[in-house]
Structure 1
């Protein structure tokens, strides 16, 4: 099969391209810019375009599929050529469904926790030598790629994103997978550039539940009020399995699950991660993993990349990096950090740079998110606001929205980096939250 990727350099797209090449497909691609780690990974496999930019001559009649990335615009010249030739054009999730429609599809959805839950499931299955196809949004220890496709495996485990599929397809990605087994971890308003109201956002989850195949299974977080409403309002036929935070205790600074099999020591921490773990356990049981087998494997799970990831500093200081940027994620991550390091002076840094987090109307969602730490820092770039053509935000607006007048607010990279240099990193515990990189701040020094 011959495929071409329009915008091959994306985080998800380049992994799918690699997976298809590993499966034996002929793969080509284009992009206007490709950054690391996508660039090196594509180059290693002979998939890196020789030149950047769009080239309609790459779109030929013998292509079996054209896969369209999310950041390719509607007026893309390669897309126009593909339409002109009448080629089959797939969005990323649409193509994943085509690759898995003969398999049992397991889709992990939710505003938060879905990457971690998917990662936990794959870790446990890998530990016990159970082969499955998968797509996950973070690099995992023991896995070379984030997408795997095969002819033989019976199951496909998919992280289900509620964001749009492509410039041609405004449906949420997870609406295309038609799960046999699904999970919803939680619902908290996000992506306000697309979903203008909270109800618009919740509607995507109502539709997601409606896509579960008849007689399927839905595992859901019964501690989340919005999730429960969506599940109770559903009219299609499937089995419902609720889960909640398991019992645990702290022993010598480590989280221990309290189970019928005895105490299970873990390498992760935070109530939200224990809730994620419980959801992952119920999914694994649907895939034939016994409870005892799950606990045996999960003890060695250290977390998904950039999800409360411990950074090894040269001075031995305590520093964790987390992908958290949406309010619900920030609140859960800060809560976990406070519980794990009750004695240390705690520093919480948050970078705002997504469309939602920089929207003045949305800022109020962050109220009290940084409470309970000794030093709270918020960074956003005034220059980024200008580039995005967004309304100006003042430090006073940040302090009001977060309900915290003591927050340090930085709007220029140079000022943030200068403040960072003044801190004794061995003095306390540092939590760095961002889907960016704090203006290329080196967290190891």
Structure 2
């Protein structure tokens, strides 16, 4: 079967491409703008990529066009279609489907699907869960919205009857199917990690997202399990709309919470209904990762992995590319300058990332070392300015903050004004790099946060800092 994927370089559609290729299908695809890690993965799979969405690709005559949600019926200022290939497909009556629908029909059918949903932590928790099952000898299939360092790829099919772990996104499926992607997956185990307002471009308010999460709950069978964060009021409201499956709660505070952690974020006991059942000792930091671990352990328990075995597996977990990924260090008299790459883009994720690093540094006796946050509000929600007022709160832990403002229709400098001289803005990458380099000093930790390529800022920073080295 030949499939041609529109929007192939997105993390989800790139994963679909990898699964289709592994299943023996011929795969081609098109997109506009490519950056790692997905571009590297597609090249390694020898998948032919075509730049842009030109109508002449109809001549490829694939058995199926698989359409990513980046594609729309939008038109440019001159009235021409933004995606002429899609218009040609519709005009010709050619076969097409969405990525989630193709996945459901060709990969997930008949499998025990473990789906990880939530505003934050989906990629990391999905990767943790896949790694736990791998270490338990279950050889799972998986599709992750990133590249887990332990696997080196974002997706693999696994054995025909092996469980399948999938990152379950609430974003819409396609321009012709406005349901959330995760409605297609029909999981037997569903993780509801957290739930906040996001995706302001397609959801009017938090209640609208809660309805979509309840649609996911409706698809879980009575013999299934819903693993839910007990600390989230929004998720309590979701389950209050109706629940027909076993519920396993994780977190703290609620007396009916099943799974809890006791200890520091980097080394803690796992408690099940008050009894110690395992211990996680790892290199990850932050309360968010501790919560992710509890969710993954509770989900793995549903497919027969003992909590002690799951916790031990997490001790070898190496995280995901672009999750506090060390990009390099530059030596300075008095200490190194360290540059990290992180996917954080929602204000809560930015705050969580910085708080986690601050706690880690303080635990290492490095209270005097500064954190510099470089970020770009690139997601659709952040571009709309819906959460601009939350930025000072999200950056509280940073000693200095540097915002890349290209493509914004709102005033980032005004939004960051409460931070005073601690915040600077720049309209392009080179001035941003110059600002950071001018401010950096020995011992600093520079965290670059974006859900895109960020204009290669990491390599540019390292090169500029190295050039400045005495």
What's the TM-score bracket when you normalise by the shorter of the two chains? Answer: 0.7 to 0.9
- Among 350, 368, 371, the alignment partner of 1:347 is 371
Cα offset, 1:293, TM superposition = 0.9
- Alpha-carbon distance in structure 2 between the residues aligned to 1:43 and 1:372: 39
Deviation at 1:9, TM superposition (A): 3.1
User: Which of 222, 241, 254 pairs up with 1:234?
Assistant: 241
CA distance in 1, matches of 2:200, 2:249: 28
Structure 1 residues 72 and 407: alpha-carbon distance in aligned structure 2, compared to 1, 3 A threshold: same
Structure 2 match to 1:189: 197
Q: Does 1:289 align with 2:289?
A: no
CA 1:279/1:425 → structure 2, altered by over 3 Å: closer, same or farther? Answer: farther
| SS of residue paired to 1:337 | helix
Where structure 2 has 5 or more consecutive residues not aligned to the other structure, the ranges are 74-80, 253-259, 271-275, 466-470
- CA–CA distance in structure 2, aligned partners of residues 265 and 45 of structure 1: 35
TM-score normalized by the length of structure 2: 0.83
CA distance in 2, matches of 1:33, 1:377: 27
Structure 1 SS opposite 2:173: strand
Alignment partner, residue 400 of structure 2: 376
Answering whether residue 9 of structure 2 is matched by residue 2 of structure 1, we say no
**1:334 alignment partner, one of 345, 348, 354:** 354
- The residue that corresponds to 1:90 in the other structure is 97
Q: Residues of 2 paired with 1:36 and 1:255: CA distance?
A: 29
**Is 1:431 aligned to 2:447, yes or no?**
yes
Greater mean deviation of Cα atoms: 429-438 or 331-340: 429-438
Mark the CA change 1:197 to 1:261 in structure 2 (over 3 Å): closer, same or farther: closer
> Displacement, 1:397?
2.8
The reply on whether 1:255 has 2:262 as its aligned counterpart is no
- Shift of the alpha carbon at 1:87? 4.4
2:415 is aligned, of 397, 420, 424, to 397
Give yes or no for contact 1:319–1:429 (8 Å, CA) kept in 2: yes
Residue 319 of structure 1: how far off its partner (Å): 4.0
Structure 1, 89-98 or 103-112: larger mean CA deviation: 89-98
Q: Once the 2 structures are TM-superposed, how far is the Cα of residue 116 of structure 1 from its aligned partner?
A: 0.8
2 CA distance for matches of 1:302 and 1:144? Answer: 11
**Which deviations, in whole Å up to 9, do the C-alpha atoms of 1:232-265 show, x marking residues without a partner?**
x132411100001544445xxx821135367642
Q: Give the structure 2 partner of residue 407 of structure 1.
A: 422
- Change in Cα spacing, 1:277 to 1:2, as seen in structure 2 (3 Å) is same
3-state DSSP of counterpart to 1:313: strand
Secondary structure class of the residue paired with 1:368: helix
Matches within 5 A, 1:69-108: 69-74=68-73, 76-84=83-91, 86-98=93-105, 99-108=107-116
Q: Deviation of residue 323 (structure 1)?
A: 1.1
Where do 5+ consecutive residues of structure 1 fail to align?
Answer: none
The offset of 1:133, in angstroms, is: 1.5
Q: Is the 8 A contact 1:131 1:153 kept in 2?
A: no
Report the Cα distance in structure 2 between the residues aligned to 1:161 and 1:58, rounded to whole angstroms. Answer: 32
Question: Per-residue CA shift, 1:42-70, capped at 9, x if unaligned?
Answer: 3443321467552244353xx44321122
In 1, the alpha carbon distance for the partners of 2:329 and 2:135 equals: 29
Q: Comparing 268-277 with 123-132, which one deviates more in the overlay?
A: 123-132
- 1:355/1:40 Cα in 2 relative to 1: closer, same or farther (>3 Å)? closer
Aligned to 2:255: none
Write the deviation string for residues 345-399 of structure 1: whole angstroms up to 9, x where unpaired: 33241322223223344322335222244x2314032x422xxxx3x31512322
Task: Determine if contact 1:56/1:81 at 8 Å carries over to the other structure.
Answer: no
Q: What is the CA-CA distance between 1:100 and the residue it aligns to?
A: 0.7
User: For each residue in 1:156-186, what CA deviation from the matched residue of structure 2 results, as whole angstroms up to 9, or x when unmatched?
Assistant: 1110111111122221111221211101111
> Which residue number in structure 2 is paired with residue 418 of structure 1?
434
Q: Secondary structure at the match of 1:131?
A: coil
Aligned length: 429
Any residues of structure 2 matched to 1:255-274 within 5 Å, and which?
A: 255-259=266-270, 260=276, 264-274=280-290
Aligned to 1:112, which of 117, 120, 128? Answer: 120
Displacement of 1:34: 4.2
Q: Is 1:363 matched with 2:382? A: no
**CA distance 1:317–1:51, shift in 2 (3 Å):** closer
Q: 1:77 to 1:321 in 2, by over 3 A?
A: closer
Structure 1 Cα separation of the partners of residues 50 and 297 of structure 2: 45
Could you tell me how far 1:329 is from its partner in structure 2? Answer: 1.0
Q: CA deviation at 1:296?
A: 1.7
Alpha-carbon separation, structure 1, partners of 2:21 and 2:415: 49
Deviation at 1:123, TM superposition (A): 1.5
Equivalent pair of 1:107/1:157 in contact (CA under 8 Å): yes
Q: Report if the CA contact (8 A) 1:399-1:407 is conserved.
A: no
Shift of 1:326: 0.5
User: What is the match of residue 14 of structure 2?
Assistant: 14
TM-score, length basis structure 1: 0.88
